[in-house]
Amino acid sequence: MAIYLSRKEHFNAAHKLYNPNWSEQKNVEMFGPCANANWHGHNFELIVTVKGEPDPDTGFVVDLKKLSTLIRSKVISKLDHKNLNLDVDFMSGKMASTELLAMEIWKILAPEIPLLSSYARLYKITLYETPRNFVEYLGE
130 contacts a copy of itself (rule: CB under 8 A): yes
97 contacts a copy of itself (rule: CB under 8 A): yes
Listed in sequence order, the residues at least 6 apart from 68 whose beta carbon sits closer than 8 Å to its beta carbon are 7, 9
Of 2, 82, 81, 91, residue with least CA distance to 49: 2
Q: According to CB under 8 A, which one of 87, 108, 110, 114 is a site residue for a copy of itself?
A: 87
Nearer to a copy of itself, 114 or 135 (CB): 135
* Distance set, CA 16 to CA 22, 37, 101, 121 (Å): 14, 7, 13, 32
* Active site (annotated) includes residue 42: no
Nearer to a copy of itself, 43 or 118 (CB): 43
Active site residues: 34, 81, 129
